[in-house]
């Protein structure tokens, strides 16, 4: 049951401090989405495996689905004024045990993204340094250095991360804007056309697979609520930031992916993407902006990934902080730095875990590509399932508490989001081998030991959350009860 009273034992003593506004949160969320990396990685895959040149429309569809989810998600902000995002929202509606499971799945999912992206940037750094006559070092070395840099920024005040992300994001947007202007000015390879937005293209190929890739490109938008304690006027700033992030990212991806198609032409872009699945954005830049553009976009691709790593590191650190502050983990993790107001100990813990996973992957002989693909698969499933559970939690919470008079916000929108996201989660799991790159001898996606093992990796975290709920209820009933206290 959800309690609405609070006691001295539930008052948080380690609240984070900051003066974030809606714009700053939007910057962090968009940086987490890594728009330039999406154009370089997800768009080519969507073109090849999804619905081809109709892909831009699916970014609009994905954005629309997430906007409907955001209706209930943001409605919880003022009624559940806690900073635990999925953890507190699911606890408030579905109960404390599911909430604790959600907390651990959140940590697992976002950590997976962070580790995967670190592997990606480290692989590029290793190849680049070796190519310019530098030392030939294992990607794991660069991964540890990257984790250390991210950890240093995460240790300090959130405003510093915001400034870094703002600079990086500006560079990404600028290079994409310049490339788009070049395509518009020249008319592309076959002339500009809106025919790719027609229904015949939207439903061509495998649109469900294309939608799966498009939704993956929005990962991180739901993290707005985790910054509640560091936000000015969170009841208004968080909803504004959430809606703005989805709209900006959705429109941006739709336009820029259409520009990519126009750059090569609707009849040639699929062949180009198949020939250059990982370097299509670089080849496009070379054709329209020349060598200078290639140098710029290579640098910005690295900074884009780094910005995303920093964003997800901050999210994981704040989940650890919330759990420590709530008594679910050692209280030390819930302390805020006296000067920076940051979750410094939670950030250090996140860095240590990240480095440990990197060392383990390197010791097992995994390549950076394997680490990226496998971690992205787990993260995608975890976050979509968490969003579906949150949507259901919104419905249950408001039907039980009667705190909302808006049927659209409290029932219709979250119900639609729950059904849609649940179906998407099922489709993703059915096509999981495609997501993680497991194939049979003929090169066709096939469920095998890798896909099965990766999906089962969430099971220990589910068990951990359920066991922790039982133990906490017996040993620390006040902390257990405080999970669903509606007093931030």
CA distance 2 to 191: 59
- For 6, phi then psi, to 5°, come to -135, 160
Whether 69 is covered by a domain: the verdict is no
Q: Can you give the CATH number for the domain in which 21 is found?
A: 1.20.1740.10
| Structural domain of 136 | 14-63+105-384+415-429
Whether 401 is covered by a domain: the verdict is no
Whether 368 is covered by a domain: the verdict is yes
- For 439, phi then psi, to 5°, come to -130, 165
Question: Whole-model pTM?
Answer: 0.89
Whether 458 is covered by a domain: the verdict is no
Q: Assess contact for 156 and 340: CB atoms under 8 A.
A: yes
Sign of CA dihedral 65, 70, 71, 76: positive
Whether 340 is covered by a domain: the verdict is yes
> How crowded is the C-beta side of 404, counted as CA atoms within 13 Å?
23
Whether 309 is covered by a domain: the verdict is yes
439: β partners = 445
- Per-residue pLDDT of the chain (488 residues), as tens digits, is 444 333 333 334 466 766 788 988 998 888 888 888 888 888 998 899 888 999 999 999 999 999 999 999 999 988 888 888 899 999 999 999 999 999 999 999 999 999 999 998 888 888 888 877 778 888 889 999 999 999 998 888 777 778 888 888 889 989 999 999 999 999 988 889 999 999 999 998 888 888 988 998 898 888 888 888 888 888 999 999 999 999 999 999 999 999 999 999 999 999 999 888 878 899 999 999 999 999 899 899 889 889 889 989 999 999 999 999 888 889 888 888 888 778 889 999 999 999 999 999 989 998 888 888 888 888 989 999 999 999 999 999 999 999 988 999 999 999 999 999 999 999 989 888 887 878 887 778 888 898 899 999 999 999 999 999 999 999 999 989 988 887 65
Q: Assess contact for 44 and 276: CB atoms under 8 A.
A: yes
Question: Domain tally for the chain?
Answer: 1
Whether 409 is covered by a domain: the verdict is no
Whether 51 is covered by a domain: the verdict is yes
């Amino acid at each position: 049951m959800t309690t609405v009273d609070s006691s001295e034992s539930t008052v948080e003593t380690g609240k984070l401090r900051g003066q974030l506004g809606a714009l700053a949160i939007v910057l962090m969320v968009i940086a987490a989405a890594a728009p330039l990396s999406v154009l370089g990685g997800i768009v080519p895959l969507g073109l090849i495996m999804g619905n081809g040149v109709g892909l831009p429309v699916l970014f609009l569809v994905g954005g629309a689905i997430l906007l409907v989810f955001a209706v209930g998600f943001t409605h919880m902000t003022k009624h559940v004024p806690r900073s635990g995002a999925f953890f507190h929202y699911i606890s408030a509606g579905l109960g404390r045990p599911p909430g604790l499971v959600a907390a651990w799945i959140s940590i697992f999912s976002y950590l997976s993204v962070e580790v995967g992206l670190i592997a990606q940037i480290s692989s590029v750094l290793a190849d680049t340094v070796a190519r310019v006559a530098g030392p030939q070092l294992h990607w794991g070395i660069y991964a540890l250095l990257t984790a250390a840099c991210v950890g240093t920024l995460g240790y300090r005040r959130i405003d510093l991360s915001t400034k870094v992300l703002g600079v990086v994001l500006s560079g990404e947007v600028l290079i994409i804007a310049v490339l788009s202007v070049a395509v518009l000015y020249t008319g592309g390879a076959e002339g500009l056309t809106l025919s790719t937005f027609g229904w015949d293209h939207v439903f061509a190929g495998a649109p469900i697979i294309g939608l799966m890739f498009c939704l993956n490109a929005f990962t991180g938008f739901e993290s707005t609520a985790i910054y509640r304690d560091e936000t000015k006027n969170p009841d208004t700033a968080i909803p504004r930031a959430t809606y703005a992030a989805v709209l900006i990212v959705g429109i941006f991806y739709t336009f820029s992916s259409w520009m990519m198609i126009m750059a090569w032409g609707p009849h040639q872009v699929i062949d180009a993407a198949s020939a250059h699945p990982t370097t299509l954005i670089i080849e496009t830049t070379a054709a329209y902006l020349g060598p200078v553009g290639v140098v710029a976009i290579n640098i910005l691709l690295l900074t884009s990934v780094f910005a995303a790593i920093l964003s997800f590191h901050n999210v994981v650190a704040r989940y650890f902080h919330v759990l420590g502050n709530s008594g679910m983990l050692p209280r030390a993790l819930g302390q805020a730095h006296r000067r920076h107001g940051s979750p410094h100990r939670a950030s250090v813990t996140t860095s240590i875990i990240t480095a440990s996973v990197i060392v383990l992957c390197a010791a097992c002989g995994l390549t950076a590509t394997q680490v990226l693909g496998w971690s992205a698969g787990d993260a995608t499933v975890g976050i979509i399932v968490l969003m579906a559970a949150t949507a259901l939690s919104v419905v249950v919470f408001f039907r039980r508490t009667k705190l909302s008079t808006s049927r659209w916000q409290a029932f219709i929108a979250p119900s639609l989001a729950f059904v849609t996201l649940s179906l998407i989660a099922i489709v993703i799991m059915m096509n999981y081998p495609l997501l993680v790159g497991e194939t049979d001898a003929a090169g066709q996606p096939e469920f095998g030991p890798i896909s099965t093992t990766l999906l089962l990796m969430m099971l220990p975290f589910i068990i951990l959350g359920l066991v922790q709920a039982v133990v906490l209820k017996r040993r620390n009933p006040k902390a257990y009860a405080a999970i669903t206290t509606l007093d931030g």
